[in-house]
Structure 1
Amino acid sequence: MTLLAQRRGEVDDAEFRGHWDPVAGTAERRAEVTADSCAYPVTFEVYPLDADVSPQPLVAGVVEDQHRVVVPVDGARPWSPEEPNLYQVCIRSNMGCSAQFTVGFTDVTIGDDGVLCTNGHALRFRGVNRHEFHPTRGRAVTEQDTVADYITMLGHHINAVRTSHSPPASHAMDLADRMGLWVVLEGDVETHGFVRQGWRENPSNDPQWQQAILDRTARMWHRDKNHPCVVMLSLGNESNTGANLRMAAQWLRQHSRLPIHYEGDFQAEYTDVHSRMYATPTEWRKLASGQPHPAFSPDTVQTVAHQPLVLCEYAHAMGNGPGGLDDYERIYREFPRACGGFV
């Protein structure tokens, strides 16, 4: 546990989410600052990161109160794994308190055809589920360990990480921004063991757990909301379904435009992406080609037809697996709506 003592006039929270318009080729910054009234006005400046010389800011602005300010940023470039362009935001409160953090500009959309796009281009995940552990130090994972992981991933043409199955160490997000990896940011919710009792008393649907799940969802979002590498927000893992997950999805929609992911929402009631685990190539081809699953309700058939499809887990190397990767690869290439998966 870390206790922070703040001076009067400190900024409590700052959201500086960058948006890239792929049609106009322009960038804008949405700035929102939470602080005591004495901290306003809060000024901010946006600079290119790692500039060789002390640059002039690309944009400077003022946040007068807790309302959001939108300002264009001339000369900015979008963030992508191929070109992870980053910028530094410097903020200063009316009381002289200052802070700095790194941001980028991205555009994540889902077309009417169900194709997931980033910066105007169809996105294809070549992803992995990354569990944070070290062979000798267990959960004590250092920044150097994560750098080594990411170098190995990039060397094998991996472009995305699903944070299995909780938000990672904060340095993992900073490195993903810098090194160029998309991140499916996953909440710290998993109730897999309740399957053994038929999901009775499952926290996902138990009112006693509602606040805890919402709190974990909010903490995930607030810590990592300014990272351009985040491409989707995942409610959790293998927790069946329930009212608390639906409320977590609603909370995220009030705070973010990013697509919401959760494999357990089989009937597509509160997520934006249809996600599956370990679907066979035959089943995956049927879904990608628009054939409805026999267990779908009529409403689900209509919804899923316009959603991206992602295999959030597949090719599990356990027993005599994995195999058939070429079959999945052919489906990804044939149907852009099938936007890839995470081994």
Structure 2
Amino acid sequence: MAILVTGVAGFIGAATAHALLARGDTVIGIDNLNDYYDPALKRARLDELKGQFGSDFRFVEMDFADATALGTLPADFERIVHLGAQAGVRYSLDHPQAYVQSNLVGHANMLELARARQVRHFVYASSSSVYGGNDSLPFRVEDRVDHPLSLYAATKKADELLTETYAHLFRLPSTGLRFFTVYGPWGRPDMAMWIFTKALLAGEPLPLNNGGQMRRDFTYIDDIVRGVIACLDTPPSDDNAVKAGGSRSPHALYNIGNSRSEDLMCVVELLEQATGKKALIDPRPMQPGDVKDTYADISAIERDHGFRPATTIDQGVPLFVDWYRRYHGIA
């Protein structure tokens, strides 16, 4: 049986599909290859998967916000890893409909697909953005998340609520994963690690929101993928016991982070070392919808799935910069 992975041409989706295929699973991957960022990068990720794994990887170009199209998918998958979404906090300020379609309509469609196909486990991407205006650190899955600061965060919170309803009504085993600032090879061009590396290598100023006075729980992609797969392999039980996040239905919520909050200027220093360039600084005000600090309490996923991150920011930053140079042909 295959595993269905949405957003398979995306950063986390492609890395998760790669790990599943490498261990012997087959993967059906769907993605609409939109132009939120350069589709050439998405196609390059797909080419890597096709080149390494051949017929074990099947790609279907499809928008999961189209329920009719989803109904045409083959029936030979028993688990879903729903990682596709319209990402980005700032983009949501000017393009709200993209988030409504992908993150609300699309998520509801995927839940209906999971219910109709009676899948054994529905794993989906939430976000650390749901913690919004919380000022108690580290963020815990037990914390209330009622005050999102962006439409993106609001849609991710809504996804958690929709999934809780399906887990309750239809006993759909589900796990939501709140990702914390993922970075690494094949990362996204709209993320700080890529933006800063590009600017450093080009000799351009680094745009530092809040003057760089921010902290982030940077989490390396390999650690994220190990957490996703550990959760995928162990669905929450339908036993009326309280799960991580508080549900008595078969629905668990976990933070996946490095469990270390890094000063953004320390990350800039690591990038300077890895690129051999001195940063020019372009201080900017705090951006609407953004949060000053993130920090993951990962005790729940550690307890239930044995997850511990293995890659420090000191190790991960040079790995990303090395990949970035290779991908762009920079000596």
TM over 0.5: no
Larger helix proportion, structure 1 or 2? 2
Q: TM-score, normalised by structure 2?
A: 0.31
Larger strand proportion, structure 1 or 2? 1
Larger Rg: 1 or 2? 1
Q: TM-score, normalised by structure 1?
A: 0.31
